Chain A
Amino acid sequence: MKRFLVILAILFSAVLYAQDTTAETTAGSLVAAADTVAAAHDVPELSEEEKLCKQAAEDFMAIYNSWDVTRDYEILLPRITAYAENYFNAGKDPNESNKEDLTVLKEHYESILGMETSETLMNILSADLERVNAELEGNQKNPALIGYLDKLDFDRIKVLEEILVRENNDQISSSVSALRPVFKNIRRYSIAFDEMLTSVYNEITRVTDKRVYFLYIEDNVKNKLQDISDRLAAEVDKKEAEFAKKITDDIDTLYAKKEAAALAGDRDLEKKLYNKWIEARKVNIDKLKSAEISRLTTVISGFMQSPGQYDVNSTLIHKLYTKSSDTEAYLKYLLRAKFYNDLNSKFKVYFRFEVEKGIRKYRLNILIASLFFFGLFFYVFTTVKKKRDSIYIRRIPGLDAIDDAVGRATEMGKPIIYDSGLGGFSSPQTIASMLILRSVAKKVAEFKAEIIYPAYDPVVLQIAEEMISSGFLDAGYPEDHKKDNCFFMVSDQFAYAAGLSGLIARKKPATALHFGYYAAESLLISEAGFAAGAIQVAGTTEATQLPFFITSCDYTLIGEELYAAAAYLSRDAQVLSNLKLSDYGKVIFGALFLLGTILLTINSDWTVISDLLSTY
């Protein structure tokens, strides 16, 4: 009886324990559920800014969702299917062909690996064999094309082929002759696949871009995006006062810290804080607004539901080719992703445009300075017109030598070669060179010499032809101008240098004139002229090339002497005013630089002149 009661007590305890556990779990669940409900009710309220961003995201998604993908899908599906089918059905199936070729590769690789070869060859072969085995076992890199070569594989096969050819081994030679057509075949299919994929990508992009464009120019979509941007821009503009205060506070705080470091005698810290203070002074309201735009855009993106990434790759081609059941869904997903990206980009551009428009007040110093220079220009122009003959220009030996150089060419019966460097027609150095060319052409016509002009830029060639014919016309000998002496050489730096050097070596000119923009080829050209025994006069504003010209040429025009040359040679009122204006500019800026340097030397905090001369 006692034993029975003990067992009963144990069983009863066990039952009670089980009930307690269940009750705890239930209670725990109830508590958890209660917590969840409480949590749901405790969801933190969105701030005003977040509400605005959420509303903007919802409005944006409404525009996005209003676009029906079906139409573009129906347009694109047959077109891109045709691209894929043209690739796979043009002759032998690429997959079958590559599979056979991979099998051949595998056989030969394994055979070569069993021979005595160099370590480099072994390593590369092993790496490629690994790739081949993976492809044959079904672990394809490209689901649409077995044996597809990416860039790394292309390079590896190229190196492998070169090494195989170099191996001086009879046994390998037979493999090489079998492998080379296989490599060529696989490369051909991979390149064609890439081109087909590019065509598919371009087709999809073209159709969706057109869709976005037409939707965009429909007033409704444009106005909706404008409306969202206006609201967000108003939110950013509200913070303008706050940003302005932040800028001044940062500057003041850093200045105070710098002074404290100076008082404490910590020179390193003072220098660091001084640099930070200078950097803080360069921060303007536009930079802060730009950062705010980026921040808000991130917040808005958090509320948007992006459809996914737009990536036209081999997966699409594989689905098209195998006519997979989910092709429609996949293509529609890609189109939605593309449209989302395009619309999002348009929206961001609009947002930024609405915020950033307005006067850039931090550039007022440049505006005032430029208006002052315009006024000074007209004053100088009118003054120079009246006093043209009495204006003094210091002697520039290089330009005085041009007369002698042209005379030398006439006496020796050799031509003059004139080149204007690498600049395009918008480069000020090229324009200055053209002005000099006209004066030189006039002298050449007077001396009955010959001038050859090889051009780097075809547009500059047209201008140069006109300059030379104008020069000959000014001299009164238009019939002496030979059009064939002005020709286009090449629009490549070193090819131009090689061509010009060759021309100088063959023609052996008496004079070579180089005025314009030059880069590394300056020494090549001038040394060629030196070797040919020509008198050389060069001029450029490129400080890095001047030493080469000074070394190899007889006379060099340094910096603004190139711009002065046209005035020097022609004494034209407009060009003289150019010269005087740049002289006045040098004096004014030189004085400002000197004053700024003195002020900063006395006290590094006196940055008023450097602030005046800076723009951001």
Chain B
Amino acid sequence: MKKEIPILLGIITGILWYGEFFIAGMFQENQKLFFANGLKIAGVVGVAVGVYSVARQNYYKIKYNNERYYAILRVAMIFLMIFLGVISGTSSGTPFSSMFMNVYVPFQATVFSLLAFYIASAAYRSFKAKSVESGVLLVASIIVMLSKIPLGGEIWSQIPVIGEWIMDSPSSAGRRAIIFGGYLGSITMMIRIFFGLERSHLSE
């Protein structure tokens, strides 16, 4: 019954929500709220599981001197933020908020800004005319990059027009084809979960 009950619940819920798409008023607002709150509760329990996993992993690292100091720092930061949040709240002006705005946000921005350098190095590696296809890629990418800056228009007035056409027509067509294929694949996977044939989400 351990696997059958979740599958049955999944099928019943799937049918109800499938019906809701076609029949207005299948669920009242408070019933929809029930599902929404249920997902939130599952998310909160997930966070608790995650914190336990981190604490356990770092405990062994500290115990067996495997990246010990990094592990101590990691655990200390987690518990410090929990402590600050509980003691002084999370509103603006509190130590929690200061840590978030002055430590976490700059870190996030730093990691994000690394992308600029990685894009440059990836472009340097990939834009090479080794074959016809890569040559076409090279030319198209140069035109598109030039079309995005004023220099492109200065070189030739048609560069921005061609660049826009490349983005609007062949590039969009290819992107839509990929997206379409991806959506069809996910629909078929959802059909399998709907009918209880897909059990990987039940760890089976």
The reply on A548 being an interface residue by CB < 8 A is yes
In contact, B178 and A459 (Cβ under 8 angstroms): no
CB closest chain-A residue, reference B55 = A488
Q: Which residues of A contact B177 (CB under 8 A)?
A: 559
In contact, B111 and A357 (Cβ under 8 angstroms): no
Q: CB < 8 Å: which of B93, B111, B122 contacts A154?
A: B93
CB closest chain-A residue, reference B199 = A574
> Which stretch, A259-267, A269-277, A359-367, touches the partner chain B?
A359-367
The reply on A129 being an interface residue by CB < 8 A is no
In contact, A373 and B191 (Cβ under 8 angstroms): yes
Query: Interface range on chain A: under 10, 10 to 19, 20 to 34, or 35 or more?
Result: 35 or more
B34 to chain A minimum Cβ distance, whole angstroms, is: 14
Q: CB < 8 Å: which of B122, B191, B203 contacts A463?
A: B203
The reply on A431 being an interface residue by CB < 8 A is yes
Q: Interface residues of B: mostly helix, strand, loop or mixed? A: helix
Q: Which residues of B contact A242 (CB under 8 A)?
A: none
Complex Cα–Cα for A240 and B201 (A)? 45
The reply on B155 being an interface residue by CB < 8 A is no
Given contacts A488-B50, A520-B115, contact A467 B25 (CB under 8 A): no
In contact, A360 and B119 (Cβ under 8 angstroms): no
> Which stretch, B79-87, B146-154, B157-165, B180-188, touches the partner chain A?
B180-188
In contact, B50 and A491 (Cβ under 8 angstroms): yes
> Which stretch, A93-101, A327-335, A579-587, touches the partner chain B?
A579-587
The reply on A551 being an interface residue by CB < 8 A is yes
Q: Which residues of B contact A438 (CB under 8 A)?
A: 200
Within 8 A of B (CB), among A269-296: 286
In contact, B29 and A349 (Cβ under 8 angstroms): yes
In contact, A187 and B24 (Cβ under 8 angstroms): no
Complex Cα–Cα for A208 and B64 (A)? 56
In contact, A461 and B50 (Cβ under 8 angstroms): yes
Q: Which residues of B contact A236 (CB under 8 A)?
A: none
A392 to chain B minimum Cβ distance, whole angstroms, is: 18
In the complex, per-residue mask of A368-385: 1 if CB is within 8 Å of any chain B CB, else 0: 001001100100010000
The reply on B65 being an interface residue by CB < 8 A is no
Count of A-B residue pairs with CB < 8 Å:
191
Q: CB < 8 Å: which of A353, A360, A466 contacts B22?
A: A360
A549 to chain B minimum Cβ distance, whole angstroms, is: 10
In contact, B122 and A551 (Cβ under 8 angstroms): yes
Q: Which residues of B contact A461 (CB under 8 A)?
A: 49-50, 53
Complex Cα–Cα for A552 and B49 (A)? 33
Within 8 A of A (CB), among B13-28: 18, 21-25, 28
The reply on A161 being an interface residue by CB < 8 A is no
Complex Cα–Cα for A190 and B50 (A)? 36
In contact, A377 and B23 (Cβ under 8 angstroms): no
In contact, B24 and A356 (Cβ under 8 angstroms): yes
Q: CB < 8 Å: which of B46, B111, B193, B200 contacts A497?
A: B111
In contact, A357 and B24 (Cβ under 8 angstroms): yes
In contact, B29 and A377 (Cβ under 8 angstroms): no
B169 to chain A minimum Cβ distance, whole angstroms, is: 14
Complex Cα–Cα for A520 and B180 (A)? 21
B126 to chain A minimum Cβ distance, whole angstroms, is: 4
Report B's interface with A, CB cutoff 8 A. 18, 21-25, 28-29, 42, 46-47, 49-50, 53-54, 57, 60, 67, 89, 91-94, 107-108, 111-112, 114-115, 118-119, 121-123, 125-126, 174-175, 177-193, 195, 197-198, 200-201, 203-204
Given contacts A190-B93, A543-B174, 5 further A-B contacts (CB under 8 A): A373-B191, A527-B121, A551-B122, A560-B182, A586-B180
